[in-house]
Structure 1
Amino acid sequence: MANESPYFWNEFELKQPPLVTLQVEDTGFAKNVFVVINRFLQQLSEPDAKNFEETAALIGRLMARRKNSFRNMPGFRALCKLNAALCRLLRLDLGRDLVQFRGALPDACDSDLAGPMPTRSSFEFILVRLLGFYHLHERIKECCIKAATYFIQLLRNNFFMDFTTLLIAAIAKINKLSSLQASKSANLYNKLRPQVSNFPQVAKHKFLAENQELPLKLQPLQSTNNQTKEAATPALVLKAQKIITKVEKSKLEAKSDVGTLIARKDTPETKTKFNEEALATVADAQQFIARESKARKQNPPPESCLTKSIPKHEWLAAQTLFQRKLSKDPVKALSIFRKFIISKIK
């Protein structure tokens, strides 16, 4: 008997009903079932499926390599969840269950309509395995977007350039291959689901509980519509920004010139712009770090604390990178730190 939880497809030790065959008078529908399962198994052996396993292994190695550097960062926690979902997917082994069930079906070339057929419980078990396969890919897509969103932000701030570039490329590739596999499994499920009533049922081997019902249709994760694609993976697409020259900028300003704006006297400016000259030298940066670190320790930080809106882990990462680069290239260390502070203080 299956678990009564609505997410029974997510059970690791889902009990498989015995693969029993019964003699039926009409097995004509089984040919279509045999053909679609066989086509899906051929797709699982294609190069894309092998690339998926190789990329999943690469993500696992990258996670293990940097587990101390990013341990407390939210993007790395999403990466750990992504690795757990990939490991769970490999443990599912959908291909083995499909091969076993296909072997119990009548031969697709058999012209005789009467013959042995697997029970409805065995067929429902295959559908539940397809549900688990599909929803795990949904989980993988969700973790990919969360992890990529965070690491793209690190890349924009020039943090860990080599590692984050490789990691984002691996995440984007696993996201694409996962969407393809999920779409193929959804198509297989949608073709097999209407055939449930054709399989013979045995009361002793009933698989689904009374309060459990299989969905009638699954929606493929990947769509041919470009708008759907952009909406589904906003964090995995880096759009190139158009470079505007000084001449073009002056032309745009001339077209948009509508006069001189005069500010009201009763609306004084509340925010002061950060002075970049305060970080002109390495010594200035070191004094700035010491002053801001002391202010950030107060609860709450005073109004004079310019970095109070910066998260703790980003502030610590910026200090670590500054100190690491300082001994090798002070100019580059100062430049990276200044860019980080200017991007965060508006």
Structure 2
Amino acid sequence: MAMENPYFWNDFELKQPPLVTLQVEDTGFAKNVFVVINRFLQQLSEPDCKEFEETAALIGRLMARRKNSFRNMPGFRAVCKLNAALCRLLRLDLARDLQQFRGALPDVCDDQLGGAMPTRSSFEFILVRVLGFYHLHERIRECCLSAATYFTKVLRNNFFMDFTTLLIAAIGKIYKLSSLQAGKSATLYNKLRPQVANFPLVERHKFLAESQELPGQLEIIKSTKTETKAANTPDLMMKAKKVVTKVEKAKLEAKSDVGTVIARKEAPKIQFNEEILATVADAQQFIARESKARKQNPPPDSCLTRKIPKHEWLAAQTLFQRKLSKEPAKALSIFRKFIVSKIK
């Protein structure tokens, strides 16, 4: 089967060669192939794979809901490409092909025993499927970064806050889970690739063209500093920054502009001594002294009654003079209480 496309792993018309078996004398290597495939299939049933499928479905629903709002935006086109890659990954169905190939392996694998083994073409088809699975996840992460970079700017401008926050969160989760699955598929490929020469070759069922060759090894995705730095953009929803509106920003600036701080010394409070009004004569002298001081503009600091309103001061003098002729002691007591209440 001739295939000239260098990206044949992404070919929609890629057809599986007939799964036939041939008798071989040594089946010991099949044990390693069986164990590696079985371990990968167990990993596909782990919770993170289920989360990946649920999050991918959420992105598809979000895209369908807002397709009229964002269809002309470059970031939304990246989301559409991301959704197409996720759908393509679902269509690939790597687990089905691995289970089918695993079922064709011999039940008993021993270096001293012969048995029926699938052909090299069938094994190469499995490797191409794993290769497609790996590169689709690479495509998914590229679309995640492109979409998250754009919608992060939208979020900072306070546009579509609820939708954008949810979308960035979903994209970040897809990016993280895609890295995990890509790393697992790379490990599977790197362990299966050296076993190609052990499978029997049938010229009539040859799968790869003469000019095509499978890569010797795939890069395993690990959580390195470079990977963490690249994932900072989609992880923005995990560490959301507080968005400050223009009104709040203006309020903050107004509060921050306090001008030049000047130290001011508080004027010492005047302590009023009641003993200066011990007698009627003291009260009369106090009234004369304060009345003279109040006439100045402004009254001096030595004027104890400068803050008493004019009408209250005149009323206190009138009452004092009226009571003085009949009840001097009562007149003095009323005047003293008035002055003390106003000054203290």
TM-score by length of 1: 0.68
Compute the displacement of 1:13 (Å).
2.0
What SS is found at the alignment partner of 2:234?
coil
Aligned to 2:233: 235
Alpha-carbon deviations, 1:44-98, whole Å to 9, x = none? 1111111111110000000000001111000000000000000000000000000
Please, what is the CA RMSD of the aligned residues?
A: 2.5
Aligned to 2:59: 59
Residues 35 and 108 of structure 1: CA distance in aligned 2, closer, same or farther (over 3 Å): farther
Aligned to 1:188: 188
CA distance in 2, matches of 1:129, 1:242: 41
Q: Map 1:272-283 onto structure 2 (within 5 A).
A: none
Instruction: Specify the code of the residue in structure 2 equivalent to 1:83.
Output: N
CA distance in 2, matches of 1:70, 1:211: 44
CA distance in 2, matches of 1:336, 1:212: 62
Alpha-carbon deviations, 1:218-275, whole Å to 9, x = none? 0023x232x12233324224396999xxxxxxxxxxxxxxxxxxxxxxxxxxxxxxxx
CA distance in 2, matches of 1:2, 1:124: 14
Q: Map 1:81-100 onto structure 2 (within 5 A).
A: 81-100=81-100
CA distance in 2, matches of 1:242, 1:47: 29
Residues 31 and 240 of structure 1: CA distance in aligned 2, closer, same or farther (over 3 Å): closer
Compute the displacement of 1:111 (Å).
8.0
CA distance in 2, matches of 1:141, 1:21: 38
Compute the displacement of 1:106 (Å).
1.2
Q: Map 1:153-302 onto structure 2 (within 5 A).
A: 153-221=153-221, 223-225=222-224, 227-238=225-236
Q: Is the 8 A contact 2:98 2:126 kept in 1?
A: yes
CA distance in 1, matches of 2:69, 2:96: 38
What SS is found at the alignment partner of 1:116?
strand
Instruction: Specify the code of the residue in structure 1 equivalent to 2:88.
Output: R
Aligned to 1:275: none
Aligned to 2:23: 23
Aligned to 2:49: 49
What SS is found at the alignment partner of 2:61?
helix
Residues 200 and 156 of structure 1: CA distance in aligned 2, closer, same or farther (over 3 Å): same
CA distance in 1, matches of 2:106, 2:170: 42
CA distance in 1, matches of 2:192, 2:52: 25
Instruction: Specify the code of the residue in structure 2 equivalent to 1:105.
Output: L
Aligned to 2:114: 114
- Who wins on radius of gyration, i.e. which is larger? 2
Residues 16 and 242 of structure 1: CA distance in aligned 2, closer, same or farther (over 3 Å): closer
Instruction: Specify the code of the residue in structure 1 equivalent to 2:226.
Output: T
- Structure 2 gaps of 5+ residues are 251-344
- Structure 1 gaps of 5+ residues are 244-331, 339-346
Q: Identity over the aligned pairs, expressed in percent?
A: 77
Residues 56 and 336 of structure 1: CA distance in aligned 2, closer, same or farther (over 3 Å): farther
Instruction: Specify the code of the residue in structure 2 equivalent to 1:224.
Output: S
Compute the displacement of 1:127 (Å).
0.2
Q: Are 1:146 and 2:134 matched, yes or no?
A: no
- Number of corresponding residues: 249
What SS is found at the alignment partner of 1:117?
strand
TM-score by length of 2: 0.68
Residues 29 and 110 of structure 1: CA distance in aligned 2, closer, same or farther (over 3 Å): closer
Q: Is the 8 A contact 2:27 2:111 kept in 1?
A: no
Residues 28 and 44 of structure 1: CA distance in aligned 2, closer, same or farther (over 3 Å): same
What SS is found at the alignment partner of 1:69?
helix
Instruction: Specify the code of the residue in structure 2 equivalent to 1:22.
Output: L
Residues 232 and 113 of structure 1: CA distance in aligned 2, closer, same or farther (over 3 Å): farther
CA distance in 2, matches of 1:22, 1:337: 76
Residues 335 and 41 of structure 1: CA distance in aligned 2, closer, same or farther (over 3 Å): same
Q: Is the 8 A contact 2:92 2:133 kept in 1?
A: yes
